[in-house]
Structure formats: structure tokens, C-alpha cells
Amino acid sequence: MTTATIPAAEQELSGALRERGLRVTPQRLFIYRALLRLDRHVSAEEVLAAVGESLPNVSLPTVYATLELFEEMGLVRRLGVTQGAVLYDPRPDQHDHRVCDRCGAIEDFEADLDLAAALRRAGRGGFHAGRAEVVVHGLCPRCAALAA
């Protein structure tokens, strides 16, 4: 996200928080701003590091709680696509991910698959499917070149 659009996104966040009857706190604004500026898949620890200078008293539990709130609000997506830490995606729209099994790099891409059909099929037999996403594992170009 460009820095020019961050103030508009913060205004949307403020409005969405107020609609839910929640306070617009400096912690929430700084954490959201950090997500937008980092503009990649990040861990809660990375978000904490990004806001640490501006908010030295913010704690990791506060970051986790705020990220969970943002997920509930549809502002971020929680990703469990790697063996490591849970990551948060500042792009909440429907898209898919490529994961490098060697270096852990995660990239967005559009798989152009009918996920609604996958949800319908998963719903057979009484399963209550909530969402579907595509995660493709393999080697990124750099790691593939090193392996050759």
C-alpha cells in the first residue's frame, strides 16, 4: 500500500472501530499503520518490532489481541501456511499463496480456481465449510536455482 493511501485506510479503521463501539487507540492505529507499511505477510513479533520505537510500552499480547480484532473485522487474514509462526496478511481479499519450502518465502498469486465449488463439495456429508484457499508449496526461483 502506498503511503498516500494509509491515512484513508486509517480513517476507515477509525470508522469501523467506532461502529463496533470500540475505542480508536494509538496502539490500534500504530499497529494498523505498521501492517500497511510493511505490506507483506508478517508475524506478530515483526509487527511489535515495527511499532516498538513509536510505542515502547506496547506488548506482544497487545499486538496479538489487536491482530485478532483486525481479523474479526476483516482487515487482515491469518495464515497458517508454514511450519513456523502464524503470519498475518494485510491483504484480506480472496487470493492464494505460493510457499517456498526451503526459505519460507510467501507470495500472493491468483489461482483462478472455483473455490465456491470446492466449498460445496466439502459441505457434503454435513461438513460446514467456512472458507477455502489455495496454498501451493514448492521452491521459489532463487531456491530452485540453488538446488540445480
Q: Which of 99, 50, 47 is nearest to 68 (CA)?
A: 47
13 Rama sector, left if φ>0, alpha if ψ -120 to 50, beta otherwise: alpha
Q: Domain boundaries in the chain?
A: 6-79, 94-147
What per-residue confidence (pLDDT) applies to 53? 86
Domains 6-79 and 94-147 fall in the same CATH topology: no
**87: Cβ contacts below 8 Å, ≥ 6 apart:** 41, 42, 43, 78, 79, 80, 81, 106
What per-residue confidence (pLDDT) applies to 3? 52
What per-residue confidence (pLDDT) applies to 8? 85
Q: Are 1 and 35 in contact (CB under 8 A)?
A: no
Per the listing, cell 499503520 goes with: 33
CATH number listed for the domain at residues 6-79: 1.10.10.10
Record the pTM: 0.81
Q: Pick out the chain residues at pLDDT < 70.
A: 1-4, 81-83
145 Rama sector, left if φ>0, alpha if ψ -120 to 50, beta otherwise: alpha
Q: Are 77 and 89 in contact (CB under 8 A)?
A: yes
pLDDT digits (tens, 9 = 90+) for 129-139: 988 888 899 99
Q: At what angle do helices 60-72 and 44-51 cross, to 10 degrees?
A: 110
CATH 3.30.565.10 fits 94-147, yes or no: no
